[in-house]
Amino acid sequence: MSTTRKHTALPKAQILIEALPWLTRHNGKTVVIKFGGNAMVDEELKAAFAQDVVFLRHAGLDVVVVHGGGPQISAALDRHGIVSEFKAGLRVTTEDAMDVVRMVLAGQVQRELVGLLNQHGPLAVGLTGEDAHTITATKHQPEIDGERVDIGRVGEITDIDTGAIEALLADGRIPVVSSIARSEDDGHVYNVNADTAAAALAAALGAETLMVLTDVEGLYEDWPNSDEVISRLTASQLEKLLPELSSGMVPKMEGCLHAVRNGVNTARVIDGRVQHSILLEIFTDEGIGTMVVPDAVTEGDAG
Ligand SMILES: Nc1ncnc2c1ncn2[C@@H]1O[C@H](COP(=O)(O)OP(=O)(O)O)[C@@H](O)[C@H]1O
Ligand SMILES: CC(=O)N[C@@H](CCC(=O)OP(=O)(O)O)C(=O)O
pLDDT at 9: 83
Among the residue ranges 120-129, 262-271, 289-298, the one predicted with the least confidence is 289-298
Any residues with Cβ below 6 Å from ligand 1, and which?
Answer: 36-39, 68, 70, 195, 214-216, 219-220, 223, 245-249
**What is the number of the ligand 1 atom nearest to the C-alpha of 37?**
21
Position 298 confidence tier, pLDDT thresholds 50, 70, 90: low
Instruction: Tell me how far CA of residue 94 lies from CA of 121, 190, 251, in angstroms.
Output: 38, 10, 20
**Residue 38 C-alpha to ligand 1 middle, in angstroms?**
9
Name the closest-CA residue to atom 16, ligand 2: 91
Position 234 confidence tier, pLDDT thresholds 50, 70, 90: very high
Mean pLDDT, range 19-42, rounded to an integer: 92
What b/e sequence results for 110-128 when a residue is b if at least 16 CB atoms lie within 10 Å of its CB, and e otherwise? bebbbebbbebeebbbbbb
Strand partners, 294: none
Q: What DSSP state is assigned to residue 299?
A: T
Q: Which of 214, 256, 274 to mutate to test the pocket of ligand 1 (most atoms within 8 A of CB)?
A: 214
CA distance 65 to 174: 7
pLDDT tens, position by position, 250-284? 999 999 999 999 999 999 999 999 999 999 888 87
pLDDT tens, position by position, 68-121? 999 999 999 999 999 989 998 899 999 999 999 999 999 999 999 999 999 999
Mean pLDDT, range 157-168, rounded to an integer: 98
ipTM here: 0.96
Position 35 confidence tier, pLDDT thresholds 50, 70, 90: very high
Position 303 confidence tier, pLDDT thresholds 50, 70, 90: very low
Beta carbon of 251 within 6 Å of any ligand 2 atom: no
Name the closest-CA residue to atom 18, ligand 1: 248
Give all strands (DSSP E) within the chain, no chain letters.
30-35, 62-67, 86-87, 90-91, 124-128, 135-139, 143-144, 147-148, 155-160, 174-178, 180-183, 189-191, 209-214, 232-234, 266-271, 290-293
CA distance 280 to 278: 5
Which pairing describes strands 266-271 and 209-214: parallel, antiparallel, or unpaired? parallel
Binding residues: 69-70, 91, 191
CA distance 297 to 288: 19
- Could you tell me the strand order of the sheet in which 180-183 lies? 155-160, 135-139, 180-183, 189-191
CA distance 47 to 197: 23
**First-last CA distance in the chain:** 41
Position 248 confidence tier, pLDDT thresholds 50, 70, 90: confident
Mean pLDDT, range 229-247, rounded to an integer: 93
pLDDT at 86: 93
HSE-up of residue 99 (Cα within 13 Å, Cβ side): 4
Phi, psi of 158 (to 5 degrees): -115, -25
CA distance 204 to 255: 13
Position 170 confidence tier, pLDDT thresholds 50, 70, 90: very high
CA distance 146 to 144: 5
**Residue 253 C-alpha to ligand 2 middle, in angstroms?**
15
Beta carbon of 36 within 6 Å of any ligand 2 atom: yes
pLDDT at 112: 97
Position 6 confidence tier, pLDDT thresholds 50, 70, 90: low
Mean pLDDT, range 45-54, rounded to an integer: 97
pLDDT at 57 over 90: yes
pLDDT at 3: 53
Mean pLDDT, range 180-189, rounded to an integer: 94
pLDDT at 14: 87
Beta carbon of 90 within 6 Å of any ligand 2 atom: yes
**Residue 260 C-alpha to ligand 1 middle, in angstroms?**
20
- Percentage of the chain with pLDDT > 90? 78
pLDDT at 12: 87
Mean pLDDT, range 168-173, rounded to an integer: 98
Choice between 18 and 161, residue whose per-residue pLDDT is larger: 161
pLDDT at 89: 87
